[in-house]
């Protein structure tokens, strides 16, 4: 999204949501009331709880697995989104099983998902670093830590072919106008998530980051990868293990998704 145009978006959100200040991002019918959206026409949000099965993901010092936190958060977020009666929701996994990265992407493509949100917990080499971050796709990582994280996440899928970059066919798609719009919408969603977290959930410095994550490579679906906190940090681990804190994260993600679709509705009305 154009940073210089952000004021117009904020103005639209105030009008669309009928409120100002923090209340403007409350989970309300931002783009239509529930009665105006037939269930079959509601946007489909694909939730991707990271890892699973033989792949535990990050492991906290006391032994808690990332895969359990991501799945628990996915269920809470699914309930919160369905409760708005504005969205349909699908999940790449609903139990402790391993799902190859490409299958997760294929699920979003095959079901024509409108958004793809991958849920994860970070692991960093410095244990006093804490906070959430939001990633979008980029062939060039925004920083060394992001590059290492993407490498670790991609290499966890040992059953899939080695990921060495995008194929010529995918490269052509990424060069298309559709892919450009997808990338812009992904960045807009990431900005909405970071904004909803700010001041409520601890954030890493420069929380909007980018890297070459395999699960974000669908050129047709706006997508983000949310690192909800760092399991290598005791304070973040305690927060992520708390069901109330996971419910808080889910509520903030609903706010961000509402804000995203409010902006999307504005774009469609503008043609």
Q: Helix, strand, or coil here: 140? A: coil
pLDDT for 19 equals 35
Per residue in 237-253, is it b (16+ CB within 10 Å) or e — as a string? bebbbeeebbebbbbbb
**248 close to 200: Cβ distance less than 8 angstroms:** yes
Asked if residues 182 and 176 have their Cβ atoms less than 8 Å apart, the reply is no
C-alpha dihedral sign at 103, 1, 135, 172: positive
Per-residue pLDDT of the chain (271 residues; tens, 9 = 90+): 333 333 333 333 333 333 333 333 334 444 555 556 788 899 999 999 999 999 999 999 889 999 999 999 999 999 999 999 999 999 999 999 999 998 999 999 999 999 999 999 998 888 888 999 999 986 655 555 545 555 555 556 554 444 445 556 555 555 455 667 788 899 999 999 999 999 999 999 889 988 778 878 877 899 999 999 999 999 999 999 999 999 999 999 999 999 999 987 666 545 4
Helix, strand, coil in percent for the chain, rounding step 5: 50, 15, 35
DSSP state of 36: G
Q: Which helix (H) or strand (E) holds 90?
A: strand 88-91
**Residue among 81, 91, 90 at smallest CA distance from 34:** 81
Give bridge partners of residue 266 from the DSSP assignment. Answer: none
Buried b (16+ CB within 10 A) or exposed e, 182-218: bbebbbbbbbbbbbbbeeebbbbeebbbbbbbbbbbb
- DSSP state, residue 232: T
Strand partners, 223: 116
For residue 89, the model assigns a pLDDT of 98
Ordered domains of the chain (ranges, CATH): 41-269 (3.40.630.40)
- Looking at residue 183, its pLDDT comes to 84
Residue 265 sits at the vertex; the CA angle it makes with 263 and 269, to the nearest 5 degrees, is 115
Predicted pLDDT at 177:
55
Number of other residues whose CB lies within 10 A of the CB of residue 37: 17
Smallest CA-to-CA distance from 70 within 88, 103, 95 is with 95
Contact 146, 206 (CB under 8 A): no
Rounded to the nearest angstrom, the gap between the alpha carbon of residue 160 and the centroid of all alpha carbons in its chain is 23
Q: What tokens does 173 get?
A: 């798609």
- As to burial, measured by CB atoms within 10 angstroms (0-12 exposed, 13-18 middle, 19+ buried), residue 49 is buried
What pLDDT score was predicted for residue 145?
54
State how far the Cα of 225 lies from the Cα of 120, in Å rounded to an integer: 7
């Amino acid at each position: 999204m154009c940073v210089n145009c952000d004021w117009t978006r904020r103005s639209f959100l105030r009008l669309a949501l009928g409120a100002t200040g923090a209340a403007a991002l409350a989970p309300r019918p931002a783009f239509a009331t529930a009665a105006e959206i037939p269930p079959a026409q509601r946007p489909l949000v694909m939730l991707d709880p990271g890892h699973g099965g033989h792949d535990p993901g990050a492991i906290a010092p006391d032994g808690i697995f990332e895969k359990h936190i991501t799945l628990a958060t996915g269920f809470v977020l699914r309930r919160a989104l369905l409760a708005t009666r504005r969205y349909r929701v699908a999940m790449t996994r609903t139990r402790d099983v391993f799902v190859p990265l490409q299958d997760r992407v294929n699920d979003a493509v095959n079901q024509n998902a409108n958004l793809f949100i991958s849920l994860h917990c970070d692991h960093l080499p410095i244990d006093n670093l804490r906070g959430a971050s939001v990633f979008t796709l980029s062939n060039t990582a925004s920083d060394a830590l992001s590059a290492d994280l993407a490498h670790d996440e991609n290499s966890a899928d040992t059953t899939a072919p080695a990921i060495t970059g995008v194929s010529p066919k995918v490269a052509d798609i990424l060069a298309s106008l559709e892919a450009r719009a997808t990338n812009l919408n992904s960045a807009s969603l990431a900005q909405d998530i970071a904004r909803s977290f700010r001041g409520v959930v601890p954030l890493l410095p420069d929380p909007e980051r980018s890297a070459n994550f395999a699960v974000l490579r669908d050129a047709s679906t706006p997508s983000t990868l949310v690192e909800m906190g760092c399991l290598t940090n005791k304070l973040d681990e305690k927060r992520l293990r708390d069901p109330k804190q996971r419910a808080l994260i889910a509520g903030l993600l609903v706010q961000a998704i509402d804000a995203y679709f409010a902006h999307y509705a504005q774009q469609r009305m503008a043609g």
